[in-house]
Structure 1
């Protein structure tokens, strides 16, 4: 056990020691008052067992069984228990003293408010039981105190009879020690578990979690444990994504390298086809260069956290530039690009212009690539009046994306069922990372009229 345990233990012990002494004295006074009330109802093991027998008979035998039991009650057991409903009527029509009924109801109310852990071992609190008949009416069962049922005090020691100060002090000492140990363990154990979890995480065991150890704690220690789980999960996802990226990169590089090796082999075996092989080698080299460039861009963006931009950029002018380049490329494929905006004049934001330009350009090119001839790709810029967030929407008229793949299209090297062309599946992944680097978010959904609609949202902090 660490030093924190002993510090907490000592603090709780000293506090509880004084508290227990004060509470014990109050309980002695209260117990004396209760003893005068207990003389009205019979309490103790014998009465409790007899009362339970009547209650069990009523539950399983109903009114007929209870009536038979009360009518044939053994004489050596004394009078049968009283069974009274809410209106004060007795089951067999016997007379019930009002003061006895009042105390019985109070005892049952106290018993009903106790938790299960507090109900064991106190015979006095089991002097009243409740039973519901077939009609749902509740009846209270209890024994009034009579000469035949003298107080049974041999089974327990009444606290009111404790007179030795030494015994009282010993009880307070033991109780405070036990409670202090439990409380100290309650606070120090999760901290020790957190220490072990941090140590495991430092060794690379990122799957460790402490939520089960914390249980349902809602204090600062519980929040710290949940924050640790969130941190460990993010680290695990980051490391996992890096491992998947490394695997995907190695897989993607294998194909062009294999084609390069084949082209070199053909050039050696068939010198007459050397020119064609060299042309093939040049194309594969260009593809490798483009792939490596996109991978490096993605890797740089993966390690960045959302931050404010470094430049002041006119977002309207930036989108105009992207649309102008896209229109030039779309002319040969009989497609059109339409740019609309609800923002009048200039809209200067603080952003990394090159990254934002590439993000929108990648999405727009992807929309053009999947749009059929004679179709229109729509780009819209708007600004939320309440949150002041910027919203960029790019919609095409292509085949769309299966609903199950909408989230996956932003993952590196993803190629869906509708993917065509020679891309590597990095364009949308780079675009999303670039948007996230500005503290924004990016998502997509299928249009009701057909096609895919991609949304880019930049936070208010980016706009001035």
Structure 2
């Protein structure tokens, strides 16, 4: 068991033991105070009612009537005493002097006088009427056949015959509830142990899981360990599983990236080595063609390295300033002119008019490169003597700019549409005749997402591919009432 378990156990047990001791002391003090303030004379309302009835009987019926009432009460185990001036009971029963003294003191106490009555008869005799509390241990029979009263046995022999713990409260002293406190202490320790185990067990599992993850074992799952829990620790376990799953994906992606990069670099490097070897053995008149081949391969390698650096910046979220206002109308106008010039040099065409007076906040260099990658990809794959169309549509209600690039190329198989934006992916329809590296659309997707937009692709019904880019914008030059959208 680890340190955390003992910390939980120690502090929970200390708190519970302290609470038990505090409650025990309070109960003991309360019992002691109750014993000190207890009376040996019955102060209850029924006793007060009986005392008043007996006083009326004595006053109006005389001593004989009261004797009859006392005899009737004795049969019902109700003890009523009538003490004269000589401290003798009307019925001749023994009574302790302390009990009589307490009764006379109650006569002088206005708050408790209701439990004692003093009746003076016509012949001058005076009686004090009261009912003593019955003995806690039950009313054992005295030698006169009457129930013995608390305080009636004052001699040491009678007190010695009482069981331990019996007798008057003042004779018991300090009463501490040892047995209840021991039972509570045992229960507290057991539950403190269970509670500490309940909290420390999943934390130990998390500790072991983190240790395995640090050593490279990312296939561990805490869902099975914490499946029966529904608290924050179970949520932490599920978050750990999500983290390890994401780490596995990232590590697999990094391994695949290294493999693809090495594969893409191996081909131009091999061609460069072949070209250099040919340059050494070829006659001078063929050297220019070899140098052109070397230059072309070096340009391809430079382009690949540049794309990898851009991709690395995007993956690391190092995109530079993203707070510039980019005029999409100016940027798309320049891009369409450049794309038209490049397409016409290859026997293809580009149509489009930038009519989108909106501004997008972001990085102009990155955003230009994203859209340019999509447009140049369309020009590369569209069939000769066909047209690449660029459409813009402004949604002023939702503050969105929709940009579509359509070509007349071979398109992409439906099962590959979601994969064309992955790293180093090239469609099976264009892989054989393409000199790209499969990074252009992947970089475009990351740049668009960095600008809080999204990009997707779909095949056209009449042939070709359609790539749609949606970006949030800020209105710059044109009010919404002047244009609700444009499709050029």
TM-score, normalised to structure 1, is 0.59
Query: Is 1:229 aligned with 2:241?
Result: yes
The reply on whether 1:248 has 2:260 as its aligned counterpart is: yes
Q: Which runs of 5+ in 1 are unaligned?
A: 20-164
Per mean C-alpha deviation after superposition, the further-off stretch among 411-420 and 251-260 is: 411-420
Q: Residue 285 in 1 paired to residue 298 in 2?
A: yes
1:409 paired residue number = 420
Contact 2:417 2:458 in 1 (8 A): yes
Compute the displacement of 1:2 (Å). 3.6
CA contact (8 A) 1:308 1:350 kept: no
2:429 is matched with 418
Q: What is the CA–CA distance in structure 1 between the aligned matches of 2:397 and 2:226, rounded to whole Å?
A: 40
Residue 334 (structure 1) aligns with: 348
Q: Is the 8 A contact 1:389 1:463 kept in 2?
A: no
Output one character per residue of 1:149-174: Cα deviation in whole Å (capped at 9) or x when no partner: xxxxxxxxxxxxxxxx9988777666
The change in CA–CA distance for 1:255 and 1:296 in structure 2 (over 3 A counts) is same
Equivalent runs, 1:321-400 vs 2, <5 Å: 321-332=334-345, 333-339=347-353, 343=356, 345=357, 347-384=358-395, 387-400=398-411
Alignment partners' CA distance in 2, 1:185 and 1:403 = 55
CA distance in structure 2 between the partners assigned to 1:376 and 1:220 by the alignment: 59
Q: Compute the displacement of 1:235 (Å).
A: 3.1
Change (3 A) 1:171 1:463: farther
1:260 corresponds to which residue? 272
Q: 1:15 to 1:392 in 2, by over 3 A?
A: farther
Per-residue CA distance 1:25-82 (angstroms, 9 max, x = gap): xxxxxxxxxxxxxxxxxxxxxxxxxxxxxxxxxxxxxxxxxxxxxxxxxxxxxxxxxx
1:191 equivalent in alignment to 2:195: no
Instruction: Supply the RMSD in Å over aligned alpha carbons.
Output: 3.4
Q: CA deviation at 1:366?
A: 0.8
The range that moved more, 214-223 or 246-255, is: 214-223
CA distance in structure 1 between the partners assigned to 2:234 and 2:398 by the alignment? 33
- Provide closer, same or farther for how the CA distance between residues 456 and 180 of structure 1 changes in structure 2, counting only shifts above 3 A: farther
Q: 1:443 to 1:171 in 2, by over 3 A?
A: farther
Distance 1:386 1:210 in 2: 46
Aligned equivalents of 1:216, 1:459: Cα separation in 2: 45
Partner of 2:466: 453
Larger Rg: 2
1:416 deviates by 1.4
Does the aligned pair in 2 maintain the 1:351–1:438 contact within 8 Å? yes
Is the 1:395–1:451 Cα contact (8 Å) retained in structure 2?
Answer: yes
Q: 1:317 to 1:186 in 2, by over 3 A?
A: farther
Shift of 1:436: 2.7
Residue-by-residue CA offset, 1:68-126 (whole Å, 9 max, x unaligned): xxxxxxxxxxxxxxxxxxxxxxxxxxxxxxxxxxxxxxxxxxxxxxxxxxxxxxxxxxx
Q: Tell me if structure 1 keeps the 8 A contact 2:348–2:379.
A: no
Shift in CA distance, 14/276, structure 1 to aligned 2, threshold 3 Å: same
Q: Contact 1:350 / 1:463 at 8 angstroms: preserved in 2?
A: no
Instruction: Report the equivalent of 2:332.
Output: 319
In the aligned structure 2, how far is the partner of 1:233 from the partner of 1:256?
35
Deviation of 1:309 after TM superposition, in Å, equals 0.8
For residues 305 and 276 of structure 1, do their structure 2 counterparts lie closer, same or farther at Cα, with a shift above 3 Å needed? closer
Question: Are 2:394 and 2:402, in contact at CA under 8 Å, matched by a contact in 1?
Answer: yes
Whole-angstrom CA distance in 1 between matches of 2:222 and 2:318: 26
Render the CA deviation track for 1:269-304: whole Å, top value 9, x for unaligned. 333433332222222222222222222222222222
